[in-house]
Structure 1
């Protein structure tokens, strides 16, 4: 039996286990198992490897996409440039990190990009944001990071005025704000300045329409959640593990 899984914490509402269970059933894959491995701290990763010596591949989610890197034996080029990992392949006794978030995000947002979508706001600065930034660079879309506090790399939410919102016609939420069960939360941006020229993309997929997206719809914006991104990144992980 080939064993795959997901590490992160918490994992009570993760997408991957259900996705792979359906995939294995639909494709009559009977020699593979995908399970959740919640670890409260990344320092428990070596213990997990000792307990699961037959792992063939892992996905990595919040909050470990960046701090997992020192525990790996190598990174592919994209993961090294992004600085975040969401997929681990076990090959020849070594643990190699990949980033399939960038594939999932790029391929899911690209059909929605219009000529005036030249500047983006990236809400959040974690591992998922790094994959989004990498993808935007590949699509030649300029971006500005937004964080709770201003830094050398990011502006603060309170700097988002009408001029900034009008210029940045793509707004991407990479934070967990609005994810079930905290469905009444949303990034603190001035939604009143959104228009039909805006594209709002939320990496959150549960609920399907977050408060962030609801407020975009109310202003006439194009909206998309992270469900397709998850499917695309999961399939990309499967190809990496079995390629």
Structure 2
């Protein structure tokens, strides 16, 4: 069955050493959950109450080891991400591949590794952190947008596949957050990641399929029904 509260929650958060991932881990700890804080360099996890775990979502062996260690998990927050700001035509192909390996294949790798864990533990919930750029595709962030759009499609397909197996899958879409990833964006255009993390967890435990983290994202979602010019 899907998880509806943080009571008896054991969660894995990927990319939990900084940014939004750290806020997710902190919010879960504050709500009484046991939290595995995944990071490529676990020594960089400094959150009291969290359990650091080595996890590089682009490394299948690392993902497999994490699933073996965190065998009591019933909630997975797929937060790990990267932003190269590469364009699709002129950007380095290595950057474009990194975006897809991280946001699409990396997220899917974690899901595939942890589905058996969630099933053994009686079901659970998965939250995939996506973006307003799942729907809005500026050329200056072509690689990121394409990877997040692929992640959106994957999330919808995986949700249908896992629902009969007692696993709820949700997506968080959000715009700019006040984190290092978008330090070049003016502060008044960014949301507080702690607020977004709390909102997203509320939505996840309420059984929502999509969680819209800010006004920019709500407007973009509503505009998807607008005819193309």
Give the TM bin, normalised by the shorter chain. Answer: 0.3 to 0.5
Task: Between the two structures, name the one with larger relative contact order (CA 8 Å, sep ≥ 6).
Answer: 2
Structure with more of its chain in helix, by fraction:
2
Q: Please, what TM-score do these two structures have when normalized by structure 1?
A: 0.40
Structure number with bigger Rg: 1
Structure with more of its chain in strand, by fraction:
1
Q: Please, what TM-score do these two structures have when normalized by structure 2?
A: 0.42
